Amino acid sequence: MELDQAARAAGQGMSAVVLSAQSLVMRFGGITATNKVTLALMKGARHALIGPNGAGKTTLINLLTGVLQPTEGSISLDGQDITRLVPYQRVRRGLVRTFQINQLFDTLTPLQTLAMTVSQQQGLGGKWWQALGARKAVTERCEQLLEQFHLSAVMDQETRVLAYGKRRLLEIAIALACEPRVLLLDEPVAGVPAGEREELLQTVAALPADVSILLIEHDMDLVFSFATRMTVLVNGSVLMEGEPESIAKDSRVKAVYLGHGDEINDAVGAGVGASQHG
């Protein structure tokens, strides 16, 4: 896939921490799902969180977004403590996520769905039906999102009949309509058929460079072509963090992936090649 060089360049010039987690612990009874995890997401980041099944990635994302409250530790957004804020309060502050499984209204069209989201974002609340035709700002923003996410041709179809790749694109469009400062992408290509993946990969690569992104993904091609920094989570703890090239070469990471070192090397090689020719 072609990389957005602007996005990668943004990752090189990062300086300010936008989202930080300090020594997060999450216990469920006698089980420690997250064990003193510390993470710093920089402004404009293209940061990937990887690890085998059961590593604690979903638990960490649920902590960052307020679905779960940590047993210990703290979370800050733009320097402000948000540890005890509920999810919608974090969304209002610019921390938005997508889900591994679609969370969409099946009987609404992409246009209606985005109109509802954009109207809410612009403070129109329950007037979104009226705003769809009467508010120029809402209409223009919806048109921009539909075009950006390759949804214009299906904007009047009910979501339930859309191809799965289009549903994933719509979910990311909804997240971007919330005007996030930080976007958490939870396995955006999970379940997407091979024939629909390239459009999704290109769209993810072209997300705005000023939005800081934490990507949770098992697809190594996407991870290594997208991320400029990576954190490896194993058994609820951070195994290592660094640039993709160093992650790919690390013997501990290869061991964690049970012999999939060649797959990781191929993926990082493809990602480096794309960045040089993109």
| Residue after which a domain boundary falls, among 132, 157, 179 | 179
Q: What is the value of pTM for the model shown?
A: 0.82
pLDDT the model gives residue 197: 86
| Residue after which a domain boundary falls, among 148, 179, 210 | 179
Residues 129 and 264 in one domain: no
Residues 172 and 245 in one domain: no
| Residue after which a domain boundary falls, among 123, 154, 179 | 179
pLDDT the model gives residue 213: 96
Residues 267 and 209 in one domain: yes
In the chain, the number of structural domains is 2
pLDDT the model gives residue 129: 54
**Contact assessment for residue 78 and residue 91, using Cβ atoms and an 8 Å cutoff:** no
Residues 191 and 271 in one domain: yes
Residues 11 and 65 in one domain: yes
Dihedral-angle region of residue 277 (phi above 0 means left; psi in -120 to 50 means alpha; beta otherwise):
alpha
Q: List pLDDT tens digits, range 134-161.
A: 678 888 999 999 999 999 999 999 999 9
Tokens 């992409």 correspond to 110
Residues 71 and 190 in one domain: yes
Residues 66 and 119 in one domain: no
Residues 267 and 185 in one domain: yes
pLDDT the model gives residue 164: 92
Q: 15: helix, coil or strand?
A: coil
Give me the domain span that covers residue 163.
103-179
Residues 112 and 197 in one domain: no
Residues 16 and 132 in one domain: no
Mean pLDDT within 30-46: 95
**Rounded Cα–Cα distance for residues 268 and 222 (Å):** 10
Residues 197 and 135 in one domain: no
* Mean residue pLDDT across the chain: 85
Residues 192 and 74 in one domain: yes
The CATH number of residue 60's host domain is 3.40.50.300
